[in-house]
Amino acid sequence: KNDVSSFIEEKYIDQSRNVNNNGGKISTKRRKSKRHGARNQHRHKYFCKWIMENFNLKEGDLILDIAGGKGELAARLSICHKLNVLMVDPRPADIQKTFESLVLPKLPKRHQLRMTERQKVEPTFLKTVFQERFRQIETLFDEYLIDTNEEVREALEKCSLIIGLHADGATESIVNVALEHNKPFVVVPCCVFPNLFNQRFLYNQYNNMDSSSSSNKPIPVRTHEQFCQYLLAKDECLQHCTLPFEGRNFAIYWTQNQM
């Protein structure tokens, strides 16, 4: 789970719901499989593939990976797609260990063999590549970090994409920062933490649960469905889709070609 849980309590985590792209409506029907079950173990692979298909990225581009956890997505982007990644997460990640233990075994056999042979000839190959393409800033991400951290600010100016896969407490900040600075982004919302973020509200026109009412009374954002609607309401250019893995798989994104 890629979250920023060092400043939030686990008791706020709500139950997993299935999100689908069905005319803009978000279903709360639960999945049969467990959230971290076998069907969810390849989510980084499928997400990485989706990113490369939907964003115009080229070798050497800089990616901001927010709340990237152990760095599995960053490792894939760095090694498999030759992208530079700046990951912002308060927990230190051993990116080489993550690649060797979580990414490499899931690659096609021919790529595993090629990588193994390369490391035999050049034992420091992975270390060298990650030193060149990967950097982590061990801190929480929010909108104020742009003003207080020069490295993050410079990376934001240069980056081609901002990513937040299950970034939890940082998810809304990613959307706000990306829209403010006109940067392509994708977030996959996960936990809502309604007690912590209690200033989020929906109005009737964005509330599928009360579509028959004409009231414009503010509705507190408490569920995953409401959180996704709340984020989508920030700008009419935002799009959404369902990603091909189990669990929280509802992506909200902007490609910069949708203006």
Closest CA to 127 of 156, 97, 105, 147: 97
Q: How far apart (Å, rounded) are the C-alpha atoms in residues 74 and 70?
A: 9
Q: What are phi and psi of 163, to 5 degrees?
A: -120, 140
The more confident residue out of 120 and 207 is 120
Q: Is the pLDDT of residue 225 over 50?
A: yes
Q: Tell me which of 9-13, 132-136, 162-166 is least confident.
A: 9-13
- Quickly state the pLDDT bin for 205 (edges 50, 70, 90): low
Q: Is the pLDDT of residue 247 over 60?
A: yes
Percent of the chain with pLDDT over 70: 79
Q: What is the pLDDT of residues 163-196, one digit of tens each?
A: 999 999 999 999 999 999 999 999 999 999 999 9
CB 60 within 8 A of CB 83: yes
Q: What is the pLDDT of residues 72-114, one digit of tens each?
A: 999 999 999 999 999 999 999 999 999 999 999 999 999 999 9
CB 44 within 8 A of CB 69: no
